[in-house]
Amino acid sequence: MSTPSVEISKSQGVLTKKASMKKNTAWNKFKQFYFGPIIAFILFIAIWQTVPVLLGLKPYILPKPTDVFHAAMVDWHLLWPAVQITVVESMIGFIVSAVIGILVSILLASSKILERSIYPYAIILQTIPVVAVAPIVVIWFGAGFNSIIVISFLIGFFPVISNTLMGLNSVDKNMDDLFTLYNASKWQRMWKLRIPSALPYMMAGLKISCTLSIVGAIVGEYIAGIGGGKGGLGYSITVASVQVKTAYLFGCGIAAAVLGVGFYLIVSLFSNFMLKSWHESAMKNEK
């Protein structure tokens, strides 16, 4: 018969073993997903800091990371409002492109005649360079906020409609035959089979669209942006290039990249939330 002290020591040993296993699992996950990118980032910054010094390059040719950081801090009162404006514009453009893209995809998938009639024009719209369309958008909607959102929407629209339509048309044949066997209507088949089956494709389209919406907002600001404290990152980049403030120009570009990464991560979290309970891609990310 075991004594209480022996039982306590056994339970403590089990808890210690579990804590050690949990710590090892966390470390393995860190090494697998984060260690490599962190090392690569440190090496990149170190090389970038060293090259201008070794080559004797002036800051207006290639600023060092320290120069970029200093410029961003000095002009933070200009950079931060520009970031906020671009965030609002790109978010609105992304939401509009997501909603309209999904609705149009469902409409096209419900009728082969509509899909064959309208989808080619969506492709044509995507092939037209934005810089060619943007001046027309400015004429129609005026310079400033409205035109920037429309341009952001135009760039982010096609990936949503393309991926969603592909998902709606890629239903498992056995499941489709099962719905036919039970005499399901067209809209029952759409809402209960085709849309759930298309969710992974839809999420992939949203991941592409969210980054493109930021690109669209910045491109729109190049053409339709306004000053007076109402210009976003695109307008700030334009002003910095004219004034040859190269370090601040790099800071604006890095801020845009950080926005894109952050936006992508948010949409990825939403995608995992929607798919984690049943789709393989999200369940692999959980491991």
**Domain harbouring 187, CATH code:** 1.10.3720.10
pLDDT at 13 over 60: no
| CA dist 201 → 81, 114, 168, 178, 286 (Å) | 35, 21, 9, 22, 19
Q: Residue 63 falls within a domain, yes or no? A: no
Q: Residue 68 falls within a domain, yes or no? A: no
What sections of 35-111 are H helices per DSSP? 36-55, 65-74, 76-109
Give the model's pLDDT for residue 27.
66
pTM of the model: 0.80
Identify whether residues 222 and 273 lie together within a single domain: yes
Q: Residue 10 falls within a domain, yes or no? A: yes
Identify whether residues 50 and 84 lie together within a single domain: no
Identify whether residues 192 and 240 lie together within a single domain: yes
Identify whether residues 88 and 13 lie together within a single domain: no
Identify whether residues 192 and 233 lie together within a single domain: yes
Cα dihedral across residues 138, 140, 144, 147: positive or negative: negative
Identify whether residues 44 and 115 lie together within a single domain: no
Give the model's pLDDT for residue 131.
78
133 exposed, middle or buried (CB, 10 Å; 0-12, 13-18, 19+)?
middle
Q: Residue 66 falls within a domain, yes or no? A: no
Q: Could you list the residue range(s) of the whole structural domain that residue 42 is in?
A: 1-56
- Phi and psi at 235, nearest 5°, equal -65, -40
- Please state, in angstroms and rounded to a whole number, the distance separating the CA atoms of residues 59 and 161: 44
**pLDDT tens digits, one per residue of 139-165:** 888 877 888 899 999 888 889 998 999
Identify whether residues 22 and 143 lie together within a single domain: no
Identify whether residues 16 and 108 lie together within a single domain: no
Identify whether residues 90 and 9 lie together within a single domain: no
CA atoms within 13 A on the CB side of 178: 8
CA atoms within 13 A on the CB side of 196: 12
Q: Which residues of 117-126 are buried (b: 16+ CB within 10 A; e: fewer)?
A: eebeebeeee
Q: How many domains does the chain have?
A: 2
**pLDDT tens digits, one per residue of 228-260:** 557 788 888 888 888 889 999 999 999 999 999
Q: Residue 67 falls within a domain, yes or no? A: no
